[in-house]
Amino acid sequence: MKADEKTQSEIMEVLNEYAKAYLDKDIESMMSLFVDNSDFVAIGTGKDEWINGHKQLEKGFRRDFSQTDNIEIVFEKVTISNNGRISWLSAIMIINAEISGEEVILSGRLSMVLEKREDQWLITHIHFSLPAMEQGK
């Protein structure tokens, strides 16, 4: 079910906060966007990026922040659905990063599940992947 305008606005604010936390390399702001559950799972593009729980998530973000000089995130084609206190989204997430003086651009696919706890939307699951370039069109 497509989310109503209020929910879409609230979820977009979470995405904007996520992007700002990356840009600012602000670990506290980043971690405040996620649930602190032991069964939390985050899946990234790296072979080792199957993350369980808040501690591993923080370690992963700290690694990301340390490996980049600058990092900017842009979201495109965001679709947000909702059922009560649970929302889910899909989007194109473009990461523009500077690593050791070189510009790196990753255009990938993002999915998230969020849960509204009290008055705050928290990310309960995140998956970012890159298209298989060898697959062709």
Q: What is the pLDDT of residue 125?
A: 97
Domain-embedded: residue 136: no
Return the exposure string of 49-70: e unless at least 16 CB atoms fall within 10 Å of the residue's CB, then b.
eebebbeebbebbeebbeebee
**How far apart are alpha carbons 57 and 86 in whole angstroms?**
21
List the domain range (segments joined by +) for residue 33.
5-130
The total number of structural domains in the chain stands at 1
Domain-embedded: residue 137: no
pLDDT along the chain (137 residues), means of 10: 96 98 96 93 88 92 90 97 98 93 93 96 96 67
Q: What is the pLDDT of residue 46?
A: 82
Domain-embedded: residue 135: no
> What CATH number corresponds to the domain at position 88?
3.10.450.50
Q: What is the pLDDT of residue 45?
A: 86
Q: What is the value of pTM for the model shown? A: 0.92
**How far apart are alpha carbons 8 and 84 in whole angstroms?**
13
**How far apart are alpha carbons 93 and 78 in whole angstroms?**
9
Domain-embedded: residue 57: yes
Domain-embedded: residue 11: yes
Q: What is the pLDDT of residue 38?
A: 85
Domain-embedded: residue 109: yes
